[in-house]
Amino acid sequence: MAAGAAVAQSYPNRPIRMIVPFPPGGPTDGMARIVSDRLGQVLGQSVVIENKGGGAGGSVGAKFVASSDPDGYTILITPGGSLTNGPAVHRNIGYDPVKAFTPVALLMTAPLIMTVHPSLPVTTVKELVEHAKANPGKVIWGSQGFGTGPHLLCEMLKFETGANIQHVPYRGSAPAITALLAGEIQTFTDPSTTIFPHVQSGKARALAVTTATRARNLPDTPTIAEAGFPNMQRYFWLGVVAPAGTPPEIIDKLNAAFRESLAPAETRQRLRNLDADVAISTPEDFRKMLAEELALWTRVAKAANIQVD
């Protein structure tokens, strides 16, 4: 115990790498940059963002962290793609999401907004389904990658309605948003933190939000349940994990540092402006949540027959 306390007391004594498993410009990258500066001040060391995009829902970055030294100097900030959704659909993702990581904290949550390109003649989710059925294979649903939450929402919509919608995965939100704005894809579901400005400017049309309540910034946009698809109710979340075997004293110190970093009113307001909310958790509560999400998406993937070897 004394040795563990000594390790925690001296930690950190060099910069910390925060791995973002998606390209720059997406919601995970944006939120990581909001948090990292303040986190560095709290810990007294710089926190360096490294983008390692690619793979199923961000599995390249996750695999990199899983194989890193468990010393607290390499951590992963990620949504569910690399820890729950991706492993649910990829049998050979390259790591065991339960055994490879030690949970640090859930950080924040935000609504997912289902949008379409303004040229598509639909204003509701039901109209989108009807249009897709009338034009089989011509409606393209872009996602942040195979195995991400929005990809599985696409599969759930297809499974529930029988609509012939074509899924096209990208390497994160930023390239998918570029494709949406250019009209290369017709529909895209993304966290409010990155897609809302494009809805606000009229470059994308919001059909629904996937949370239980309407989004603060889009009070006139119905929830997915109000739109007639209650089974698609989900939200975007962001959390942090470290390699398995990281000393508990370091995990606790990181958890406390994230908690302090997200405490200032100005930080919370920056997130609220993007319709995101601080949702800091304990390591154990985050562990339970990850287990529940993995079980849920495994059932969804099996029911919809979404599997990749």
The answer to whether residues 73 and 47 touch, using CB atoms and an 8 Å cutoff, is: no
Shared domain for 118 and 105, answered yes or no, is: no
Q: How far apart are the C-alpha atoms of 159 and 171, rounded to whole Å?
A: 24
- Decide: helix, strand or coil at residue 118: coil
Burial string for 80-118 (b: 16+ CB within 10 Å, else e) reads: bbbbbbbbbbbeebebebeebbbbbbbbbbbbbbbbbbe
Give this prediction's pTM: 0.89
**309 in a domain, yes or no?**
no
Residue 203's pLDDT band (cuts 50, 70, 90)? very high
* Distance in angstroms (rounded) separating the CA atoms of residues 84 and 4: 30
pLDDT above 80 for 307: no
Last-in-domain residue among 210, 232, 254: 232
Distance CA 53, CA 19 (A): 9
Judge whether 152 and 85 are in contact, CB under 8 Å. Answer: yes
How much is the pLDDT for 9? 76
Provide the Cα torsion 98, 101, 107, 110; round to 10°.
-50
pLDDT level of residue 300 (50, 70, 90 thresholds): confident
* Per-residue pLDDT tens digits for 214-241: 999 999 999 999 999 998 999 999 999 9
pLDDT higher than 60, residue 1: no
Give yes or no for a contact between 25 and 173, defined as CB atoms under 8 angstroms apart.
yes
Look up residue 110 and give its two tokens.
């935000």
Question: Quick one: 101 and 250 in the same domain?
Answer: yes
268-278 average pLDDT score? 89
- Whether residue 56 is predicted with pLDDT greater than 90 in this model: the reply is no
Mean pLDDT of the chain: 92
Look at residue 12 and tell me whether its pLDDT is greater than 80: yes
Q: Are residues 116 and 106 in the same domain?
A: no
Residues 32-49 have a mean pLDDT of: 94
Could you tell me if residue 276 is inside a domain? yes
Residue whose entry in the numeric block shows the structure tokens 């810990």: 43
Look at the chain and report how many structural domains it folds into: 2
pLDDT of residue 193: 87
For helices 27-43 and 265-273, angle between their N-to-C axes, nearest 10 degrees: 180
C-alpha triplet 216, 219, 220: angle, nearest 5° = 160
Mean pLDDT across 36-52: 95
Residues above pLDDT 70, as percent of the chain: 96
CB-based contact 299:152 (threshold 8 Å): no
Does the pLDDT of residue 245 top 90, yes or no?
yes
Q: Are 89 and 306 in contact (CB under 8 A)?
A: yes
pLDDT the model gives residue 90: 85
pLDDT surpassing 80 at residue 110: yes
Per-residue pLDDT for 104 more than 70?
A: yes
State how far the Cα of 241 lies from the Cα of 227, in Å rounded to an integer. 35
| Residue bearing the bigger pLDDT, 308 or 120 | 120
Neighbours of 134 (CB within 10 A): 11
pLDDT band at 5 (very low <50, low <70, confident <90, very high): low
Cα(259)–Cα(277) distance, rounded to whole angstroms?
13
Cβ neighbour number for residue 144 with a 10 Å cutoff: 33
Domain boundary among the residues 232, 254, 283 is at: 232
HSE toward the beta carbon, residue 30, CA cutoff 13 A: 17
Average pLDDT estimate for 175-199: 95
User: Is the same domain home to 286 and 199?
Assistant: no
More confident residue, 117 or 171: 117
Q: Could you say which of 197, 214, 232 is where a domain stops? A: 232
Q: What is the mean pLDDT of residues 183-198?
A: 94
CATH of the domain at 210: 3.40.190.10
Give the confidence band of 7 by pLDDT, cuts at 50, 70, 90. low
Residue partners of 128: CB distance under 8 A and separation at least 6: 116, 120, 122, 139, 187, 207
Residues 218 and 127 reside in one and the same domain: yes
- At 38 the pLDDT is 92
In this structure, the answer to whether residues 242 and 228 fall within a common structural domain is: no
The CA distance from 249 to 214, in Å, is 39
